[in-house]
Amino acid sequence: LYKDVGVQLQVTPRISPDGRVLMRVIPEVSSVAPTSINLGNGTLATAFNVQNVTTTVSAQDGETVALGGLIQRRDQKDENKIPWFGDLPFVGAAFRYRTQTKAKTELLVILTPHIVRSRADADRVLAEESRRMDYILEDVVRTHGLSGMEPVLHPNAFAPLPGKGGVDGNMTSPLMQPPMPVERLLGTPPLPYGPETLPPPRVAPPGGAQGPVVPVPDAVRPASAPAPPSPIVAEDTVVLPEPKKEPERWRLFRRQ
């Protein structure tokens, strides 16, 4: 019969309708006791030191929760001595060596729940966790191969987008594509680019629909504003900077 000892953690998550993650957490710390229990008839049983706690926490998607309070204290004494000589009174201390070790440990559990709604969310979470454990990627690839390891080997390709669609769980609005160039009609010569060119007015073909004839005004070309003349500076002319204005507070003390 075998029993698992050490640090164990049991988590039962549930997702509420408002998007929160409700988790039932049971951390446990166990170790083998140094003494055994006599069950009688020469049967000895192993004793265990077990500490556990049961709690319920609620967190948002991507929110971190920390749990603590499982504290262990250990006081260990060891003695090394030379047989017979270490047991002698008065002089036995010169033939033995004693050590005492005191330790205090506390278990701290940090949980960060993520709601996975699609395969893309699963790849994104895997890519985020792989950045923290990149030192063991060779062992993972050697054990499990390259199948399904794209988010781990290339985590930057699955990085969350800024704003919505990141860890907060919201969706990202698609970006608008730039407008495509409009194709000109076949048989129509391309118009030169410029503000002074306007297309010619269209004239109704003869024999068309009868109606009042509306004269079409001639195209008026917009007058282009003349460019401002650029200052002409001679080669031998030296342009001096304008003197700085004297502050108003110094003018009060200047003699008139």
Model pTM score: 0.47
Contact 85, 92 (CB under 8 A): yes
For range 156-169, the mean pLDDT: 49
> What pLDDT score was predicted for residue 117?
87
C-alpha angle 165-170-175 in degrees, rounded to nearest 5: 50
For range 89-100, the mean pLDDT: 88
> What pLDDT score was predicted for residue 136?
67
Which of the four pLDDT bands, split at 50, 70 and 90, describes residue 166? Answer: very low
Q: Which of 11, 241, 242, 17 is nearest to 111 (CA)?
A: 11
DSSP state of 123: H
> Which amino acid, one-letter code, is at 76?
Q
**Both structure tokens of 162:** 């800024």
For range 232-246, the mean pLDDT: 57
> What pLDDT score was predicted for residue 8?
92
Q: Considering only 23-27, 51-55, 128-132, 185-189, which range has the smallest mean pLDDT?
A: 185-189
Contact 136, 128 (CB under 8 A): no
Which of the four pLDDT bands, split at 50, 70 and 90, describes residue 9? Answer: very high
Mean per-residue pLDDT over the chain, rounded: 72
Residue 213 has pLDDT above 90, yes or no: no
C-alpha angle 12-13-16 in degrees, rounded to nearest 5: 145
